[in-house]
Structure 1
Amino acid sequence: MAQNTPQASPALAAETGHNRSGIDPANPYELSPSLYNQDLAPTTRSGRTWSAYSIFTLWANDVHSLGNYAFAIGLFALGMSGWQILGALGIGAVLLFALLTLSGFMGEKTGVPFPVMSRIAFGINGAQIPALLRGAVAIAWFGIQTFLASQVLSVMVIALAPGAAGLTETSFLGLNTLGWICFVALWGIQLVIVSYGMEMIRKYEAFAGPIILVTFLALAIWMLFESGFNVSMHTSTPKSGLDMWVGMFGAAALWVSIYGTFVLNFCDFTRGAVSKKAIVRGNFFGIPLNMLFFGAIVVVLTGTQFSINGDIISSPSDVVEAIPNTFLLLLASGALLVLTIAVNLMANFVAPTYALTNLFPKHLDFRKAALISGAIGLAILPWNLYNSPEIINYFLGGLGALLGPLFGIIMADYWLVRRARINVMDLYRSEPDGTYYFTRGFNFRAIAALAISSVIALLLAFVPALHVLGAFAWFLGSGAGALTYLALAKRHQNLVDLDGEAIAVTPKH
């Protein structure tokens, strides 16, 4: 992709207050090549293609991820009834709808990806901190999720060609030969999709969404017939009274924290949204309504299985494995693979790709950064990460705990301190008098707020005595980040609200 600086008239540059004597006519807006390229540039209004349906299918895929099903099904084992689980998911969905809509509006207004959005609060150089934190968490989970999907593919291969089971008897670097073949195949498919940019990801999500919804609805209907329409609404004595409400709100808070990554960098997707209305409609159908549909599927799959033999499934894949017809089993397994790829692309591939592009904008575009992200996801041998509780709990868990404070700081700065008045042009300028230059490109007030609130978040994550507050850790960390930043932030006067349409780029793929 070309990385040419937009051309514009000096007269319009003067309107921004940045037309100095001796200005380069080839770069009238004084954009810094260390901050700007075609992929980091704001998107043009006319070139945006993410409709309400595009955003809906984003959630149609992500909400129905196997990890989410494992979480929701696990609530049965904790003594919650089906109605209580639906209530918890409903509460969480309302909170998520509000948070994601506010976060999404930021992307729609500015048209910039998350690393550039982070420059508003952290400075043009300090933005590397939130971008790399988010990217590091995502790239590890990209590899892990690809590994988990490769296990499903391995089962499918053996079902079609039983002789392939012999490939599981030899291993290299901790993974058997068939596992390597399946992992590299899925890894390569994802690299091909993401190498064509956000527009291809949008098309894949739109393709996968209906497949996922139909597949899970079909599984639920099949299980209803298998059980004679007998659905157990609880697997033990359900919670009641205060214990019930604490459990429901705790589950709702955990449900929101699962999306702690998405609420942070949702602007990576909504920068392509055609309007705020599209975000609201896509979020409404994709979050509250879709999450209640998801909850109903959880209750039906778990309740019918329990009524049949008294067992509690751990994942929809348990239901798929029990399908007696090989052809239908392969279809259902294929749908789960389509789902896992869809979730991985949007949740774990986009963030590190933009983070790397932001780190080396003069040398990397979206495609090159995507290939490097994928290479790192392979090089870390993710099956070894997945099999290491210490890495999952302490490294990835620790990094994940910092995302709440980051969200609180960025949202407080954007909505409360700046009141959504953003000079998009200055996000790409490195002059000391620029709005987001602060001190040598770093807003040390935001960094201090992150350091202070991160201590709180990490204590909540790892101190056993505070385990009782664990369910609310994301909210407490986010709140601590917001309040600390509001206490430290410099109040801005005469804030300039200037769009970036003059330097915007129409997405090319």
Structure 2
Amino acid sequence: MAQDTPQALTSDSVSAQHASQGIDPANPFKLSASLYNKDLAPTTREGRTWNAYSIFTLWANDVHSLGNYAFAIGLFALGMSGFQILGALGIGALLLFALLTLSGFMGEKTGVPFPVMSRIAFGINGAQIPALIRGAVAIAWFGIQTYLASQVLSVMVIAVAPGAASLQDTSFLGLNILGWICFVILWIIQLVIVSYGMEMIRKYEAFAGPIILLTFLSLAIWMLFESGFTVAMHTGEPKSGLEMWTGMLGAASLWVAIYGTFVLNFCDFTRSANSKKAIVKGNFFGIPINMLFFGAIVVVLSGTQFAINGTVITSPSDVVSAIPNTALLLLASGALLVLTIAVNLMANFVAPTFALTNLFPKHLNFRKAALISGVIGLIILPWNLYNSPEIINYFLGGLGALLGPLFGIIMADYWLIRKARVNVIDLYRTEPDGTYFFTRGFNPRAVAALVISAAIALMLAFVPALHVVSEFAWFLGSGSGAIAYLLLAKRQHDLADIDGEPIAVKPTH
């Protein structure tokens, strides 16, 4: 424990005072080694390096993911007009701006990662439940996204060295040899970046953000020239009246649901934010402004292609693959790889790394946990998961359905029950009189609220008769979680608001 305790706590004067009181001078706050290490500890105020630009570049990368483009382009294919798509994304963006700002403030105030934040509502041991659910979803998608990126790299390799296509004739464990080579290369790159911690992730996101924005803007401009500046705003007769508004609100709800993972563990990033103002400013330009820019790119790419030959693309990859110049094709494909790595790091690597660190804080630090997360993402053979609709729909879909209830419970507890008052030091103590000890480290009221709201969320996800409201499943799950918890929660809490600065650690990488 001594190495994880700030030096200011071990001065001679303080040590003598604590010794006279029967307190271990190396651990005056009685922090538990099963709950505290330097990676789970709060971040010091002076060590926080994430500014508004850092927050903005998170969204500059994540919003423009290929999965998001496939979703938004799909709205165009389903008959929504360009203006309706922009309206749906705009509504969703405003909702996300509010939710992510509230979630982000929690990290800025406490300086703790999501698994530790979960201790407030679920207890010091119960927090493993939301942390592992979030981590399991993320680690599976980390492997899947790395596999999808490796497919892009395979195309690039064959474009440069056509003879490499012969490596696709032999397969091992469900993946051809070229696929294995490309997957392992991208896997190693991501492990190296994450091994240097959150600061390196911040630098990579800051590097990737401008590249991504410039790439998609260039693709849109190129397509405008290809179509003679003709943009089809719809594929036929656009929806109108009640059908239009229902479609727009449903699409907006699904857009928010896509970020159901991020609204849950955004504190993993904002614990390093240097101010609330940085979060608000970064979120404003990164969410509503950037998402409308994203929507404009979607409309241009979809509308110009439809104007050219009456077909609807499924992804920007279709546009990239049609670039006639090999050098430009490689540049564009390289940019998509940069993008996929950026999205994977922030959305699918950080969460399981913190979850594992929280599970074994005595034995794992961020770097070791990141390595284990990466190894798990490899040995699950993610290409087989991706090619199995049952696993995607039932396992990952089922876990994903639980994210809404978790968010509702955690937010209701933090903002409505506790009024944003947190005893940060007690988050790392196992004493029975600790604020977050509850019953053997579990808050049974939060667990009960999760069981109730999870049942509702899973029915919405899998019962065919409820398909009519499936687009609003995240909000219904989140709302049911919040309501169930508010009905069950104990109101007489210790609302001491104690800062974690005395036990905080300055990030070293």
Q: TM-score, normalised by structure 1?
A: 0.97
The aligned residue for residue 246 of structure 2 is 246
Paired residues of 2:19 and 2:25 also in contact (CA < 8 A): no
1:269 is matched with 269
> Which residue matches 2:58?
58
The yes-or-no answer on 1:382 pairing with 2:379 is: no
Shift of 1:4: 2.4
1:120-269 mapped onto 2 (5 Å cutoff): 120-269=120-269
* Conserved? CA contact 2:108–2:276, under 8 Å: yes
- Within-5 A mapping of 1:60-459: 60-459=60-459
After superposition, the C-alpha distances for 1:422-480 in whole angstroms (9 at most, x for unaligned) are 00000000000000000000001000000000000000000000001010000000000
Change (3 A) 1:37 1:79: same
Residue identity opposite 2:241 in structure 1: G
- In 2 relative to 1, CA 85–19 (structure 1 residues): closer, same or farther, beyond 3 Å? farther
In structure 1, give the amino acid aligned to 2:128: Q
Cα distance in 2, alignment partners of residues 247 and 395 from structure 1: 27
Q: What letter is aligned with 2:267?
A: C
Q: Structure 1 residue 497 and structure 2 residue 497: aligned?
A: yes
Q: Distance in 2 between matches of 1:493 and 1:373?
A: 36
1:377-415 deviation per Cα after TM superposition (whole angstroms, max 9, x unaligned): 000000000000000000000000000000000000000
Check the 8 A contact 1:65/1:339 in 2, yes or no.
Answer: yes
1:475 is aligned to 475
Q: Does structure 2 conserve the Cα–Cα contact (< 8 Å) formed by 1:122 and 1:447? A: yes
Contact 2:2/2:27 (8 A) holds in 1:
no
Deviation at 1:236, TM superposition (A): 1.6
**How many Å separate the matches in 1 of 2:3 and 2:67?**
39
Separation of aligned partners in 2, 1:6 and 1:31: 12
Segments of 5+ residues of structure 2 without an aligned counterpart are: none
Q: Matched residue of 2:45: which SS?
A: coil
Task: Provide the residue aligned with 1:42 in structure 2.
Answer: 42
The 1-side partners of 2:3 and 2:95 are apart by: 39
Q: Deviations over 1:237-264 (max 9, x none)?
A: 1100000000000000000000000000
Per-residue CA deviations over 1:288-337 (Å, capped at 9, x if unaligned) read: 00000000000000000000000100000000000000000000000000
State the alpha-carbon separation in 2 of the partners of residues 152 and 128 from structure 1. Answer: 36
| 1:506 aligned counterpart, secondary structure | coil
Alpha-carbon offset, residue 5 of structure 1: 2.5
- CA separation in 2, counterparts of 1:137 and 1:456? 19
Q: Distance in 2 between matches of 1:390 and 1:476?
A: 24
Instruction: Give unmatched runs, 5+ long, in structure 1.
Output: none
Separation of aligned partners in 1, 2:492 and 2:225: 63
Distance 1:2 1:134 in 2: 31
Report the Cα distance in structure 2 between the residues aligned to 1:508 and 1:50, rounded to whole angstroms: 14
Aligned AA (1:69): Y
Letter in 1 for 2:22: G
Inter-partner Cα distance in structure 1 for 2:420 and 2:131: 20
The alpha-carbon deviation at position 26 of structure 1 amounts to 1.3
Stretch of structure 1 that moved more, 220-229 or 494-503: 494-503
Indicate conservation of the 8 Å contact 1:88/1:251, yes or no. yes
Q: Per the alignment, do residues 20 and 480 of structure 1 end up closer, same or farther by CA in structure 2, a change over 3 Å counting? A: farther
Instruction: Look up the SS of the partner of 2:283 in the other structure.
Output: helix
Question: Aligned pairs, how many?
Answer: 505
Q: CA separation in 2, counterparts of 1:396 and 1:40?
A: 27
Whether the aligned pair in 2 keeps the contact of 1:461 and 1:470 (CA below 8 Å) is: yes
The answer to whether the 8 Å contact 2:2/2:26 transfers is: no
| In 1: Cα distance, 2:444 partner to 2:77 partner | 45
What's the offset of the Cα at 1:496?
0.3
Separation in 1 of the partners of 2:406 and 2:106? 15
C-alpha distance after superposition, 1:339-362 (max 9, x if no partner): 000000000000000000000000
* Distance across 2 between alignment mates of 1:187 and 1:168: 19
- What SS class does the counterpart of residue 115 from structure 2 fall into? helix
Match of 1:333, SS state, is: helix
Helix, strand or coil at the partner of 1:46: helix
| 2:435–2:494 contact (8 Å) kept in structure 1 | no
1:32 maps to 2:32 = yes
Q: Structure 1 CA distance, aligned partners of 2:364 and 2:21?
A: 32
Distance 2:301 2:237 in 1: 19
The verdict on how the C-alpha distance between 1:79 and 1:441 changes in structure 2, with shifts beyond 3 A counting, is same
Q: Give the partner amino acid of 1:288.
A: P
What value does the CA root-mean-square deviation take over the aligned residues?
A: 1.6
Report the CA distance between 1:19 and its aligned residue: 11
Letter in 2 for 1:67: G
Q: Which amino acid in 1 is paired with 2:132?
A: L
Find the residue that maps to 2:32 and give its secondary structure: coil
**CA–CA separation in structure 1 for the residues paired with 2:65 and 2:102:** 24
Q: Are the counterparts in 1 of residues 139 and 376 from structure 2 also a CA contact under 8 Å?
A: yes
Q: Judging changes above 3 Å, is the alpha-carbon distance between structure 1 residues 332 and 19 closer, same or farther for their aligned structure 2 residues?
A: farther
Q: Which amino acid aligns with 1:421?
A: R
Cα shift readout 1:202-248 (whole Å, capped 9, x = no counterpart): 00000000000000000000000000000000012110000000000
Check whether the contact 2:257–2:474 (CA below 8 A) recurs between aligned residues: yes
The answer (yes or no) to whether the contact 1:133–1:399 under 8 Å persists in 2 is yes
Find the aligned partners of 1:3 and 1:452 in 2 and give their Cα distance: 42
Counterpart amino acid of 1:468?
V
Q: Distance in 1 between matches of 2:277 and 2:402?
A: 31
Question: How much has 1:57 moved relative to structure 2?
Answer: 0.3
CA distance in 1, matches of 2:473, 2:384: 27
Decide whether aligned partners of structure 1 residues 324 and 357 sit closer, same or farther in structure 2, where only a CA change above 3 A counts: same
Displacement of 1:22: 2.3
- More displaced, 488-497 or 433-442? 488-497
Tell me, in whole angstroms, the C-alpha distance in 2 between the residues paired with 1:397 and 1:236. Answer: 32
Tell me: CA distance 1:28–1:134, structure 2 relative to 1, closer, same or farther (3 Å). same
User: Which moves more between the two structures, 2-11 or 332-341?
Assistant: 2-11
**Residues 64-83 of structure 1: CA distance to partner in whole angstroms, max 9, x if unpaired?**
00000000000012110000
3-state DSSP of counterpart to 1:30? coil
Q: Is the contact made by 1:418 and 1:495 (CA closer than 8 Å) also made in structure 2?
A: yes
Runs of 4+ in 1 over 4 A off after TM superposition: 7-11, 18-21
